[in-house]
């Protein structure tokens, strides 16, 4: 999205497009959020012009935006960085660009159109965040997807000299709709090539095609091994994970879980340190996160290379704590589901999944669905027993028990959802497919 905005601004500045616009002003919800939470005089009492002048000091005292014939665009980036609910119904109305108000109120009025009246607004953010804006304030919704499906196929076809291998990989990843959508991001297309090319080295691969969770497990393993090779000079035969690698992966998962609970995909250095991690290890060397261009605040901001990877790492952390330490980090101890007669039953495999189901079904649609799907996928023996043995767990780790109870719980939840929560049914079926690693 940032690249799209930069391209738009450059084309306008060089007068290649949108020549009818006199000004293009780019603001960030990240700036609004930081101002809202800082103890400076501007923080809880600012006007629209204060915000523009804060971001662009050269605009101080500019009167053009109030002229009726002034045509300008306000680009508001990173709506998901504004981490609180906005009161669209009850926020007081502001009718001019100089009235000061709390940032929550100011944002509502900018989007309503009562402030910066002549502006066209372009709001950017993840779908889950942007969907909270009432539809009456939206004229057009556009989803930026990166590669088209044809470009993904072209990339995978040209990447390999072996045409038969390319054909196999394209057929494989297209089986799973979620993976087909994710692959539209160029980095994920590259990862599709990396993962499937690696997997097809093994005899018999593809006869029983794996689903989504094994793909993400491979991403985690590949990126961690590349870290060992690139930063630590390890050879292919030396890629045995030490306790440092295991702790790094688990703590990155803990970071992902904390961000998921906060319903945000951005984090800062203090968040990294809270999880007993070194910022450089996470933000540079892990291969799973990237830095965001919010340099104006002076605060370095990061996110996972894809939001679905954050959801996967969060699920991996929850499962690892259960598998390795017999802890159910989803059990808050307050509202125990009625199916548990005894306290210790929440520490069973079905107890962990029940806590995840309770949390998912109580949240708005789209918040925990992929997390639940990945967590269920972890209970597949192919994932937790075969793929992670020798990496996160020793080869002599005892077999998991209670998997039949997990499958029965998912089947019962699907039956109940078909009567009461039909919008949840398909994802619950996907969770079951991930657990048994079968398409039907």
Higher-confidence residue of 80 and 323: namely 323
CB–CB of 372/356 below 8 Å?
yes
CB–CB of 18/45 below 8 Å?
no
Task: Give CA–CA dist 234/225, Å, rounded.
Answer: 9
CB–CB of 32/77 below 8 Å?
no
In the chain, % of residues over pLDDT 90: 46
Query: What is the four-CA torsion angle of 210, 216, 219, 225, rounded to 10 degrees?
Result: -90
Task: Indicate the pLDDT class of residue 314, thresholds 50, 70 and 90.
Answer: very high
Q: How far is CA 125 from CA 46, 77, 91, 141, 164, in A?
A: 23, 7, 22, 11, 39
pLDDT tens per residue, range 271-313: 999 999 888 888 778 888 887 765 445 677 888 988 899 999 9
Give pLDDT, residue 297: 56
Mean pLDDT for all residues in the chain: 87
Task: Give CA–CA dist 56/409, Å, rounded.
Answer: 56
Give pLDDT, residue 40: 54
Q: Which of 440, 437, 404 is nearest to 211 (CA)?
A: 437
Give pLDDT, residue 341: 44
User: Above 50 in pLDDT, residue 183?
Assistant: yes
User: Above 60 in pLDDT, residue 264?
Assistant: yes
Q: φ, ψ for residue 405 (rounded to 5)?
A: -65, -40
User: In degrees, to the nearest 5, what angle opens at C-alpha 78 toward C-alphas 76 and 83?
Assistant: 115
The answer to whether the Cα torsion of 343, 378, 440, 364 is positive or negative is: positive
The mean pLDDT value for 115-120 works out to: 90
User: In degrees, to the nearest 5, what angle opens at C-alpha 409 toward C-alphas 212 and 432?
Assistant: 20
Cβ-in-10-Å burial (0-12, 13-18, 19+) of 258 comes to middle
Higher-confidence residue of 144 and 387: namely 387
pLDDT tens per residue, range 38-94: 655 555 688 999 889 988 888 888 888 888 889 999 999 888 778 788 999 999 999
Give pLDDT, residue 128: 62
Q: In the block, which residue shows the tokens 């009025």?
A: 109
Give pLDDT, residue 226: 87
Which are the contacts of 100, defined by CB distance < 8 A and separation ≥ 6? Answer: 45, 46, 47, 50
Give pLDDT, residue 320: 95
pLDDT tens per residue, range 365-374: 888 999 999 9
Which are the contacts of 28, defined by CB distance < 8 A and separation ≥ 6? Answer: 55, 76, 77, 78, 81, 294, 296
């Amino acid at each position: 999205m940032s690249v799209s905005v930069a391209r738009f601004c450059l084309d306008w500045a060089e007068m290649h497009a949108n020549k009818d616009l006199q000004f293009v002003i780019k603001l960030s919800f990240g700036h609004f959020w930081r101002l809202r939470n800082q103890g400076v005089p501007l923080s809880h009492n600012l006007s629209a012009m204060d915000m523009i002048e804060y971001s662009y000091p050269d605009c101080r005292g500019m009167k053009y935006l109030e002229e009726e014939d002034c045509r300008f665009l306000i680009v508001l980036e990173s709506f998901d960085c504004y981490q609180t609910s906005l009161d669209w119904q009850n926020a007081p109305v502001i009718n001019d660009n100089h009235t000061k108000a709390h940032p929550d109120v100011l944002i509502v009025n900018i989007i309503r159109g009562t402030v910066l009246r002549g502006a066209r607004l372009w709001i950017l953010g993840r779908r889950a965040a942007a969907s909270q804006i009432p539809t009456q304030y939206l004229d057009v919704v556009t989803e930026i997807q990166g590669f088209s499906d044809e470009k993904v196929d072209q990339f995978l076809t040209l990447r390999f000299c072996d045409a038969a291998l390319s054909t196999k990989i394209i057929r494989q990843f297209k089986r799973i709709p979620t993976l087909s959508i994710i692959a539209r991001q160029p980095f994920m297309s590259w990862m599709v090539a990396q993962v499937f090319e690696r997997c097809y080295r093994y005899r018999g691969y593809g006869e029983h095609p794996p689903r989504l969770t094994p793909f993400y497990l491979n991403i985690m393993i590949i990126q961690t091994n590349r870290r060992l090779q690139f930063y630590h000079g390890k050879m292919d035969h030396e890629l045995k994970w030490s306790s440092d690698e295991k702790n790094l992966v688990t703590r990155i998962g803990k970071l992902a879980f904390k961000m998921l609970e906060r319903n945000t995909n951005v984090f800062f250095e203090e968040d990294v340190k809270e999880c007993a991690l070194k910022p450089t290890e996470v933000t540079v060397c892990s291969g799973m996160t990237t830095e965001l261009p919010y340099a104006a605040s002076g605060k370095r901001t990061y996110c996972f290379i894809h939001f679905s990877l954050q959801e996967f790492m969060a699920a991996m952390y929850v499962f690892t704590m259960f598998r390795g330490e017999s802890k159910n980090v989803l059990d808050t101890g307050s509202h125990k589901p009625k199916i548990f007669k005894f306290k210790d039953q929440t520490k069973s495999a079905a107890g962990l999944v029940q806590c995840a189901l309770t949390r998912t079904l109580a949240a708005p649609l789209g918040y925990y669905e992929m997390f639940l799907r990945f967590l269920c996928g972890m209970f597949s023996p192919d994932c937790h027993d075969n793929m992670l043995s020798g990496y996160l767990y020793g080869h002599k780790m005892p077999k998991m028990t209670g998997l039949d109870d997990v499958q029965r719980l998912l089947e019962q939840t699907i039956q109940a959802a078909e009567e009461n929560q039909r919008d949840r049914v398909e994802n619950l079926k996907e969770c079951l497919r991930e657990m048994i690693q079968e398409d039907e």
